[in-house]
């Protein structure tokens, strides 16, 4: 009996002698990703007879940037790996290609870095070339001294437009954004060239004009969708003190409705959305702004006959100049910035002998760089400042012959105008001087904040 009682006591659970439960472990949330990388992306491009491989390479990164940037956390940055396969072959209308791109988004302390591979499908879509009817000029203020809306206008579906912007920064770093908005779903073809930020204003302006001439002639662009309530940033860049940013952007609405285009200066690392509805920042007093008529401006003609005097025309002067479509606006475009000039010379050789003639440029306003598309061939000219003829191209005219030559050109932001362009039988200077020569140009602009280029 005693044994039974003792066994029963021993077998009873000893709750008071069990160790206490371990303390609860506080859960720690995983850091948010620094950005969202899409697994796949489709990009519609245009080009005739085909979109070039180097152009396609740039469009891939631009499209990824447009998709990823709105997802970035503060302090995050994007890096792109190589495009595979490489090199890219030209794409004719109706053709398609797919590539892979490794994308890395680096985060700050509170966010996690992300790396992934995106498959980008390139679709070459047929879009007929459309010449802009109006020019939006955004060069006022030239120097950003505050944040806000710098330019805004609307591209009508029946009236393609070109935006030319040229801005620099004063003081603290700032972002420059070019933003598209729409009230109804719309599709827009963009043909764009851009350059900067850089302290060398002449190099920035020259790159914009040279690249735009090449893209515009081949109708090389990208078609994007603009959705209501979702502003589309098509250019984003950080400017430091004294750096200049410039660009030329043709906008052709192919479906939908009118599309707004805005140029915005915002705090570095911020978002442009808060400035979309204004107010507009103050003008700087130089009046380099407005909406100008391109439909009736930019065509120049001349004639040259062997044995006669040289034939010459000028562009980039204060007169003539594009017409401001708002009669109440005092803005102007002295220098023809953003204007595509088409210069045609009729050539005649009435003699019994062949004659050699030359196309030339002659600076009239100071240092200038130039790009010319002469009868379909791009000619890039170095920087000159002495007012004498410099060689562009040579023609051999047979006896009793007539013909014509057509040149397309745009003025360079940062260069000085007007410029003389002509035909002569006298041999022009065959070479442009090297950088740093007395009759050439220095490698950089004068120390900030000297302007001098307007």
**Which tens digit of pLDDT belongs to each residue from 312-346?**
999 999 999 999 999 999 999 999 999 999 999 99
DSSP 8-state assignment for residue 280: B
DSSP 8-state assignment for residue 275: G
CA distance 429 to 385: 13
Q: What is the mean pLDDT of residues 280-291?
A: 93
3-state secondary structure of 238: strand
State how beta strands 244-255 and 186-198 pair.
antiparallel
Using the predicted structure, report yes or no on whether residue 408 has a pLDDT greater than 80: yes
Q: Per-residue pLDDT tens for 221-251?
A: 999 999 999 999 999 999 999 999 999 999 9
Return mean pLDDT, the chain: 90
Using the predicted structure, report yes or no on whether residue 446 has a pLDDT greater than 50: no
Using the predicted structure, report yes or no on whether residue 26 has a pLDDT greater than 60: no
How much is the pLDDT for 11? 40
Q: What is the mean pLDDT of residues 293-314?
A: 96
Using the predicted structure, report yes or no on whether residue 448 has a pLDDT greater than 50: no
Q: What is the mean pLDDT of residues 198-208?
A: 94
Q: What is the mean pLDDT of residues 390-413?
A: 97
How much is the pLDDT for 436? 74
Using the predicted structure, report yes or no on whether residue 28 has a pLDDT greater than 60: no
How much is the pLDDT for 433? 86
How much is the pLDDT for 33? 86
Q: Per-residue pLDDT tens for 63-73?
A: 999 999 999 88
The number of beta carbons lying within 10 Å of the beta carbon of residue 282 is 11
Q: What is the mean pLDDT of residues 160-170?
A: 96
Dmax over CA atoms of the chain, in Å, equals 147
How much is the pLDDT for 313? 97
Using the predicted structure, report yes or no on whether residue 2 has a pLDDT greater than 60: no
Using the predicted structure, report yes or no on whether residue 8 has a pLDDT greater than 70: no
- HEC secondary structure over 388-412: CCEEEEEEEECCCEEEEEEEEECCC
How much is the pLDDT for 17? 52
Using the predicted structure, report yes or no on whether residue 10 has a pLDDT greater than 50: no
Band (pLDDT 50/70/90 cuts) for residue 20 is low
Q: What percent of the chain has pLDDT over 90?
A: 80
Contact 176, 247 (CB under 8 A): no
Band (pLDDT 50/70/90 cuts) for residue 7 is very low
Which residue in 183, 191, 243, 233 sits closest to 212, CA to CA?
191
Using the predicted structure, report yes or no on whether residue 1 has a pLDDT greater than 50: no
Band (pLDDT 50/70/90 cuts) for residue 271 is confident
């Amino acid at each position: 009996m005693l044994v039974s009682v003792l066994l029963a006591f021993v077998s009873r659970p000893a709750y008071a002698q069990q160790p206490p439960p371990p303390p609860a472990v506080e859960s720690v949330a995983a850091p948010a990703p620094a950005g969202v990388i899409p697994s796949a992306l489709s990009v519609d491009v245009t080009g005739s007879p085909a979109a070039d491989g180097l152009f396609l390479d740039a469009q891939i990164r631009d499209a990824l940037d447009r998709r990823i940037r709105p997802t970035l956390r503060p302090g995050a940055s994007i890096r792109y790996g190589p495009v595979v396969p490489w090199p890219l072959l030209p794409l004719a209308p109706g053709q398609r290609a797919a590539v892979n791109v490794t994308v890395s988004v680096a985060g700050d302390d509170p966010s996690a870095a992300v790396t992934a591979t995106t498959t980008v499908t390139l679709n070459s879509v047929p879009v007929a070339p459309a010449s802009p009817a109006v020019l939006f000029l955004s060069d006022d203020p030239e120097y950003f001294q505050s944040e806000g809306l710098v330019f805004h206008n609307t591209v009508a579906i029946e009236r393609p437009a070109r935006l030319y912007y040229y801005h620099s920064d004063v003081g603290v770093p700032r972002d420059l954004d070019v933003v598209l908005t729409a009230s109804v779903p719309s599709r827009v073809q963009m043909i764009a060239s851009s350059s900067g930020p850089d302290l060398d204003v002449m190099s920035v302006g020259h790159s914009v004009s040279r690249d735009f001439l090449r893209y515009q002639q081949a109708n090389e662009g990208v078609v994007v969708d603009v959705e209501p309530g979702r502003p589309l940033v098509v250019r984003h860049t950080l400017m430091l003190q004294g750096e200049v940013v410039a660009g030329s952007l043709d906008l052709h609405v192919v479906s939908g409705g009118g599309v707004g285009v805005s140029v915005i200066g915002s705090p570095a690392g911020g978002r442009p959305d808060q400035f979309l509805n204004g107010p507009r920042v103050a003008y700087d007093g130089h009046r380099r702004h407005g909406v100008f008529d391109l439909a009736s401006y930019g065509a120049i003609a001349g004639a040259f006959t062997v044995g006669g005097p040289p034939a010459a025309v000028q562009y980039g002067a204060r007169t003539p100049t594009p017409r401001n479509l708002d009669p109440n606006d005092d803005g102007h475009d002295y220098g023809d910035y953003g204007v595509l000039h088409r210069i045609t010379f009729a050539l005649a050789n009435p003699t019994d002998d062949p004659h050699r003639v030359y196309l030339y440029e002659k600076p009239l306003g100071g240092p200038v760089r130039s790009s010319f598309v002469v009868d379909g061939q791009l000619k890039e000219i170095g920087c000159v400042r002495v007012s004498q003829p410099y060689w562009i191209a040579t023609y051999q005219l047979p006896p009793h012959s007539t013909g014509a030559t057509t040149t397309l050109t745009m003025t360079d932001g940062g260069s000085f105008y007007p410029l003389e362009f002509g035909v002569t039988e006298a041999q022009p200077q065959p070479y442009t001087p090297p950088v740093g020569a007395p009759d050439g140009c220095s490698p950089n602009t004068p120390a900030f904040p000297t302007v001098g280029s307007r």
